[in-house]
Amino acid sequence: MPRAWRLPTWMRSAAYLVFGACLGVGGTFGLQQWQNAGEESPVVQTPNKQNRQPRTLVMDLLLQGDPVLGKPSAPITIVEFSDYQCPYCRRFQQQVFPKLKREFIDEGLVRLIHKDLPLPFHQQAETSAAVARCAEQQDAFWPVHQALYDQQSCLECRGPIAIAVAAGLNGDELDRCLRQPAILEAVRSNRSESTLHDISATPTFVIGPTIGRDRHRGQIVEGALPWPQFKSLIEQQLKKASLDAKR
């Protein structure tokens, strides 16, 4: 009887290393999942996060230069760390963000700040983040941000630059912007900041009272929660901010 075919030892070892790296990064890619397909299902954290208790930042996040949506005077600020190739970031953007914008941001109750956390095993994530940052120079960050998530499955085949140009960016201006070292430096600075604060999953949100234009701290929420849970967290923070304001 012929022997069963097996991968060479070095190939098996390499596969284990790659799999281990994906687990160790702590990103929700391929690991974080909803219990059911419905919107009401809660998110399940990655294995290395299961026993982690809710926590609050002990140091401020620095917000200067990061894309912002909403009024500076909003009582609550939410900082989102996300990756353009993360499927759960896309789920948040498509299922939760429209309701968040309509019910809280447009009403002046929430200010949303975007920070980049491109995971190392997503080949187009860092370039996508740089493209979105360049879109801000053409006053088009949020439309391009949305387009990159809407066409996430095309990031590998078309590329983020083509997606951004199709969304309305000037290609020549985009090309010039992408040559600026400061663009990638901003993306990598966000990633370094996430490491400093022990934030490694995508998406991760820091939700808390607005304490200033350029700094923030608050409760850390990991994962793409369904809207009822996410809304409840915001309402709790709004209630707390209102009570604090009366003291």
Domain ranges of the chain: 54-203
**pLDDT value at residue 53:** 62
185/68 Cα distance (integer angstroms): 18
Q: Which of 7-11, 98-102, 155-159 has the highest mean pLDDT?
A: 98-102
Tokens at residue 36, please? 């059911």
- Whole-number Å distance between alpha carbons of 186 and 182: 6
Q: Does 210 have pLDDT greater than 90?
A: yes
pTM (two decimals): 0.80
CATH of domain 54-203: 3.40.30.10
In angstroms, what CA-CA distances link 214 with 63, 72, 205?
5, 10, 17
pLDDT digits (tens, 9 = 90+) for 102-147: 999 999 999 999 999 999 999 999 999 999 999 999 999 999 999 9
